Amino acid sequence: MTQDVEMKDEEALPQAPLPSDSASILQHLKEGASFIEAASYTKEVRRIARAVRLTIQLRRKLTAPLLSAFLDYALLPGSEAHARLSAYLPKDNRHGMEVDNDDAATSAVQAPAKHILPELEIYCYLLVILFLIDQKRYDEAKACSSASIARLKNFNRRTVDVLASRLYFYYSYSYELTGNLAEIRGNLLALHRIATLRHDELGQQETLLNLLLRNYLHYNLYDQAEKLRSKAPRFEAHSNQQFCRYLFYLGKIRTIQLEYTDAKESLLQAARKAPFAAQGFRIQCNKWAVLVRLLLGEIPERIIFMQRGMEKALRPYFELTNAVRIGDLALFRNVAEKFAATFSKDQTHNLIVRLRHNVIRTGLRNISISYSRISLADVAEKLRLISTNPIADAESIVAKAIRDGAIEASLDHSNGWMVSKETGDIYSTNEPQAAFNSRIAFCLNMHNEAVRALRFPPNPHKEKESAERRERQQQEQELANHITEDDDDDF
């Protein structure tokens, strides 16, 4: 916006002076609007991304008078967008003082009309939605986000895509807060199809795909989520946050489908790539990663549960890990009953049920290491099996563990014994080689991902070539002028 338009708008809608802090925040919002306006004319999307980052920093400081003042600045007073968004702000404190309606209407008519950029209009929608969500006015946020999506369908500009991806997220989030997430699934699928057909390269595809996966997983529709994920077109991730979400959802799907190795890799990568400030997301990743490692027969390190700010949230999983580590089935039952509400809230109760077999196998492995020969009755007692015929259950458990290769032992059915075999030297096997190979593969994979994540200025080689070309043309021009001057002197 030009300086003349700003001054005339301020004269047309007089307001009481805002406090210094609010005036500073308003100035920052105007600065973000200038970034968006410049990006709209120059087609530089990075300026819009910068404005969005600035807005997120100011999110908690937004107030109704502040937003009202910014709407008067960014939108044409009396326009449809201005009236629609102003309706969501409290009418008693939108302005610092009351302004006569007739005078305000006259001033609005006298003010010169200005063209409303689509990017600025969508940005105003985003600000109002953030304000409504922070004020816990979820129903109004849902209505405002629905109106913004309907308005967004009228635009097909690449400079709107960055703001659109943010709007899509809060559109889904507002419906999730009101418990109506299933209502927008069809609309999200249609938006994802449109973004795919337009070959969006600025984050809409990955944002909408993650929102759809979250929608399916919210209702435990893992098969449908996997079908969508497998058939969705491949694209390069542009946002680290969206890529982390995708890895987390992929890890949950792989876990439910019993593909624990792939699930572990995805969950650990999501936890490692997540920003340090996203503590809640990192806690969820660690919860699922701990369970997956336990299902794989691994025992997570204690330092995982001692991370700063995560001790309390991971306490149930720490006690669960301790029960699995020592192979105590009774302790495992007590922990599962004690934290049943927590596991149900985290949607990990089904995985806890799967862990019972791992607890029995761990206890059996400890018994086989400690005893060269032990009766099946003592095995059942040490495992604390509760059944009508614990000896028969112990025999079947031992037989299955021997068949799966979990323990090196043999069954003496006639005497009712389990005879353990002598453990050989592990370094004479291929296990150390396999362990080193997995570590090397992990390090190489991390290096390759770090290289792919590097960001470079757009077309730096072309800029260098153009600069060299201009310099060469300038030298040739100087040489030609010099030759001409020499010819004139000779003449």
pLDDT value for 115: 55
pLDDT value for 252: 92
pLDDT of residue 265 exceeding 70: yes
pLDDT value for 3: 41
211 near 241, Cβ under 8 Å? no
Q: CA-to-CA distance for 315 and 313, rounded, in angstroms?
A: 6
pLDDT of residue 281 exceeding 60: yes
pLDDT value for 482: 67
pLDDT value for 251: 92
Q: Residues with Cβ < 8 Å from 38, sequence gap 6 or more?
A: 44, 47
Torsion angles phi and psi, residue 91, rounded to 5: -80, -20
Higher-pLDDT residue of 484 and 70 is 70
pLDDT above 90 covers a percentage of the chain that reads: 6
pLDDT of residue 99 exceeding 50: no
pTM (2 decimals)?
0.73
pLDDT of residue 409 exceeding 70: yes
184 near 168, Cβ under 8 Å? no
pLDDT value for 51: 76
User: What is the dihedral sign for C-alpha 112, 116, 121, 123?
Assistant: negative
pLDDT of residue 97 exceeding 50: no
**Residue closest to 240 by CA, chosen among 452, 75, 448, 46:** 452
What is the average per-residue pLDDT within 38-44? 72
244 near 274, Cβ under 8 Å? yes
**Tokens for 413?**
């059915």
pLDDT value for 38: 75
End-to-end CA separation in angstroms for the chain: 59
Q: Residues with Cβ < 8 Å from 415, sequence gap 6 or more?
A: none
Number of residues written out for the chain:
491
Q: CA-to-CA distance for 393 and 391, rounded, in angstroms?
A: 5
Q: Tokens 């301020």 identify what position? A: 10
pLDDT tier at 1, thresholds 50, 70, 90: very low
pLDDT value for 465: 61
**Residue closest to 354 by CA, chosen among 393, 315, 324:** 324
Q: Residues with Cβ < 8 Å from 412, sequence gap 6 or more?
A: 418, 419
pLDDT of residue 302 exceeding 70: yes
What is the average per-residue pLDDT within 338-354? 88
What is the average per-residue pLDDT within 253-275? 89
If you average pLDDT over every residue of the chain, what do you get? 77
Across-strand partners of 375? 417
What is the average per-residue pLDDT within 384-394? 73
272 near 280, Cβ under 8 Å? no
Per-residue pLDDT tens over the stretch 114-125: 457 777 888 888
Per-residue pLDDT tens over the stretch 415-430: 777 777 766 667 777 8
pLDDT tier at 253, thresholds 50, 70, 90: very high
Per-residue pLDDT tens over the stretch 320-345: 998 888 888 888 888 888 998 988 88
pLDDT of residue 75 exceeding 60: yes
Across-strand partners of 374? 418
pLDDT of residue 46 exceeding 80: no
Higher-pLDDT residue of 275 and 111 is 275
Among 77-81, 221-225, 389-393, 427-431, which stretch is predicted with the lowest mean pLDDT? 389-393
pLDDT tier at 107, thresholds 50, 70, 90: very low
Residue type, 118: P
pLDDT tier at 33, thresholds 50, 70, 90: confident
**Tokens for 21?**
């802090």
Highest mean pLDDT of the ranges 12-21, 47-56, 266-275: 266-275
pLDDT tier at 469, thresholds 50, 70, 90: confident
pLDDT tier at 236, thresholds 50, 70, 90: low
Q: Residues with Cβ < 8 Å from 270, sequence gap 6 or more?
A: 244, 245, 247, 248, 251, 285
pLDDT of residue 100 exceeding 50: no
Q: What is the 3-state secondary structure (H, E, C) of the chain?
A: CCHHHHHHHHHHCCCCCCCHHHHHHHHHHHHHHHHHHHHHHHCCHHHHHHHHHHHHHCHHHCCHHHHHHHHHHHCCCCCHHHHHHHCCCCCCCCCCCCCCHHHHHHHHHHCCCCCCCHHHHHHHHHHHHHHHHHCCCHHHHHHHHHHHHHHHCCCCCHHHHHHHHHHHHHHHHHHHHCCCHHHHHHHHHHHHHHHHHCCCCCCHHHHHHHHHHHHHHHCCCHHHHHHHHHHCCCCCCCCHHHHHHHHHHHHHHHHHCCCHHHHHHHHHHHHHHCCCCCHHHHHHHHHHHHHHHHHCCCCCCHHHHCCCCCCCCCHHHHHHHHHHHHCCHHHHHHHHHHCHHHHHHCCCHHHHHHHHHHHHHHHHHHHHHHCCEEEHHHHHHHHCCCCCCHHHHHHHHHHHHHHHCCCCEEEECCCCEEEECCCCCHHHCCHHHHHHHHHHHHHHHHHHHHHHCCCCCCCHHHHHHHHHHHHHHHHHHHHHHHHHHHHHHHC
pLDDT tier at 10, thresholds 50, 70, 90: very low
What is the average per-residue pLDDT within 228-246? 80
User: What is the dihedral sign for C-alpha 231, 234, 239, 243?
Assistant: positive
**Residue closest to 1 by CA, chosen among 51, 74, 107:** 74
**Residue closest to 88 by CA, chosen among 125, 116, 123, 62:** 125
Q: CA-to-CA distance for 403 and 299, rounded, in angstroms?
A: 23
Q: CA-to-CA distance for 262 and 73, rounded, in angstroms?
A: 51
Q: CA-to-CA distance for 354 and 368, rounded, in angstroms?
A: 23
Q: Sheet of 373-375: strands edge to edge?
A: 373-375, 417-420, 409-412
